Amino acid sequence: MKIFNSMSRQKEDFVPIEPGKVRMYACGPTVYNLIHVGNARPIILFDVLRRYLEYRGYDVTFVQNFTDVDDKIINRANEEGITSQAVAEKYIQEYFTDAQGLGVRPATIHPTGGVTAIGARMPLIAYNINLDTPNVEIASAIAKTIRNMNGGFRYCKAMGVHLEDRNLAQVSMNLTDFTQSAMYRVFETVKMEARRYGVNVLGSEIVGLVPQQALLDCAAYYLQLEGFNGDQVLENRL
C-alpha cells in the first residue's frame, strides 16, 4: 500500500509506527453553523480511508476534534443571544446528525469523550474583565474593539456577556498567545475603552490555569521593574 507523503511530495510505502496499528487525526469543522459540502468532503474521505485500513486488518484509532473556540462562534453567539459554548454544543450535535446521514462512522475519540491532549501551541488564558454596568452592549462594543477580527489584539478573542447572578456585564476573552497580546495591555485597553462609555472596571478573573510568566509580565509592568527576570523569583530557585 502506498500513500502520498506531503513532506517528501511523493508516494511512499505505508509503514505504521507500531505494526498492525494506525493512529489517525483529522480536524473537524468550526461549529458555528451547519456543515456544508466543503466540510463533508474531508469527513467522507477520512471515513473511507479508515474503513479501508480496517479492511486491510489494521487496528485503527481515529481522533477528530471540533474547532469550538473561534470568532465566528462568538459572532453567532451574539446573534442568537446565547453563550459561545451553547453555540458550539448545538452545532456539534447537528454535525453528528449530518455525519450519520452521510453514513460516516463516529470517531474513536472526539472532544466530548474525555480525552487528555497535548498540543503544540501557546497556553490559552481564559481571562474575563467585569464592568460596573449591566449593559452587555457596552461589553460587546469593547470586545469588538480589542479582538483580532476587528483590528484589535492579534491573539485576543473576545465577546460581551451578561452575568445574571451579579447583574454585571463582562468582557470575556481567550488570549491565545500572552507573549504577543499581554494580559496587562489588554486590561489597560479595556479600562480605557470602558471610560469612553462612562463605566469602570470592577475587577478581572482568570478561569483555569495561567502560565507563571504571564503573571510575572504583569508584575514587571505595573511595578515598573527594571531588568527583572523569572530567575529572581524565589520559588524558581528552590
What is the domain partition of the chain in residue ranges?
A: 2-113, 125-225
* High-pLDDT (> 90) share of the chain, %: 55
Look at residue 194 in the predicted model and tell me its pLDDT. Answer: 97
Please choose, from the candidates 201, 224, 228, the residue with its C-alpha nearest in 3D space to the C-alpha of residue 213: 228
Q: Where are the beta strands (DSSP E) in the chain?
A: 2-5, 10-13, 21-30, 59-67, 125-131, 156-163, 168-175, 201-207
Which are the contacts of 172, defined by CB distance < 8 A and separation ≥ 6?
128, 143, 158, 159, 160, 161
- 99 pLDDT higher than 50: yes
| Second CATH level (architecture) for the domain 125-225 | 2-Layer Sandwich (3.30)
Please choose, from the candidates 143, 162, 158, the residue with its C-alpha nearest in 3D space to the C-alpha of residue 82: 162
Yes or no: say if 187 and 162 are a contact pair by the CB < 8 Å rule: no
Instruction: Residues 2-113: name the CATH superfamily.
Output: HUPs (3.40.50.620)
Q: Answer whether 0.85 is exceeded by the pTM.
A: no
Please choose, from the candidates 103, 110, 10, 133, the residue with its C-alpha nearest in 3D space to the C-alpha of residue 62: 110
Please choose, from the candidates 167, 63, 78, 163, the residue with its C-alpha nearest in 3D space to the C-alpha of residue 113: 63
| Whole-angstrom Cα Rg for the chain | 22
Beta bridge partners, 207, equal: 126
Question: How is residue 190 written as a grid cell?
Answer: 479595556
Yes or no: say if 146 and 153 are a contact pair by the CB < 8 Å rule: yes
Please choose, from the candidates 134, 204, 135, 132, the residue with its C-alpha nearest in 3D space to the C-alpha of residue 167: 134
Compute φ and ψ for 28, nearest 5 degrees: -80, -175
Look at residue 119 in the predicted model and tell me its pLDDT. Answer: 54
pLDDT tens digits, 152-180: 999 999 999 999 889 999 999 999 999 99
